[in-house]
Amino acid sequence: MCSPYIYANFKKSYKGEEYKDLFWVAAGCTVEPEFISVMERLKAINVGAYEYLMSHNPSSWSRAYFCQDRACEAFENGVSESFNAMVVDARKRSLLTMLEMIRLSAPICPAIIKKLETFGEHYRSWSVIPSGGGIFEARLTYESYCVDLQSWYCSCRLWELSGIPCVHAIAAIQSAQSRGFHQSLVFK
């Protein structure tokens, strides 16, 4: 079971943008309290919709319950389909030609670069407080996250789930570098 499959069946009975939006927000939550909050909003709108989604093990479709050691934030299990779609022209060629066609020109894939650029646009909004030993607190209004640069950890869990530093980690890395603590932007 994966998120797109569960959503495809969910929308047969629960149509509309509000249901769609709440489903995908719940699927994208990285921490359990946030997931529970979104699901409570859904329950207030329609108990049946809430019960339908909860009857499908949330650990199979919400990142709030995904294991942190996978370094993959995909909602679906169709990795091979994604790869095949990307190499549709190249796979018609001989093996060496195909490999040359699909080789990345950069050491980081374009989707990750785009994500880092997006996070980079927003990291300045976060204030960062050093706690010592490579540990920082990233704050924005009422939100607060613990970032440990040595362990590649952020309490939002996105860094652990995807292997890509989240906006809080980027803010902490920038803050650490400005303070003379040299931590390179690394991926798991």
Query: What pTM was computed for the model?
Result: 0.63
End-to-end, the C-alpha distance of the chain in Å comes to 26
CA angle (70, 74, 80) in 5-degree steps: 90
> Who's near 156: CB < 8 A, 6+ residues apart?
30, 31, 145, 166, 168
pLDDT in tens, 134-169: 899 999 999 999 999 988 899 999 888 888 888 999
Residue 146 is inside which H or E element, if any?
strand 143-148
Mean of the per-residue pLDDT values of the chain = 83
Instruction: Please report which confidence band the pLDDT of residue 188 belongs to, taking 50, 70 and 90 as the band edges.
Output: very low
Residues of the chain above pLDDT 70, percent = 82
- CA distance linking residue 24 with residue 62, whole number of Å: 9
**Structural domain boundaries in the chain:** 3-65, 79-103, 110-178
| Model confidence at 11: pLDDT above 90 | yes
Residue with tokens 């995807």: 162
8 Å CB contact between 171 and 162: no
